[in-house]
Amino acid sequence: MSKRTASAEHELPPAAPRRRLGVIVVDPLPVVRAGLSLLIADRPDMEVLAEAGTAQDGLDAIERVRRSRVVVLVGLGLSGEHDSFRLIRTIRERFPAHAILACGANSDSAAISRALFVGADGFVDKNIDPVEFLTSLRRVADHDVVLAGPAPGSVGRIADGIDRRREVEIKLTDREREVLSVAAEGLTAREIASRLGVRERTVTTHLARIYGKLGVRSRLAAVRLAAQLGLVSVVTTE
Would you kindly state where each structural domain of the chain is located, as residue ranges? 21-156, 164-228
Q: Is the whole-model pTM more than 0.95? A: no
Identify the residue with better confidence: 214 or 95: 95
Identify the residue with better confidence: 7 or 77: 77
The arrangement of secondary structure in 164-228, i.e. its CATH architecture, is Orthogonal Bundle (1.10)
pLDDT band of residue 102 (cuts 50, 70, 90) is very high
Using CB atoms within 10 Å of the CB of residue 3, give its burial: 0 to 12 exposed, 13 to 18 middle, 19+ buried: exposed
Q: What percent of the chain has pLDDT over 90?
A: 38
Q: Does domain 21-156 have CATH number 3.90.78.10?
A: no
Measure the CA–CA gap between 2 and 30, rounded to whole angstroms. Answer: 64
The phi, psi pair for 99, rounded to 5°, reads -85, 145
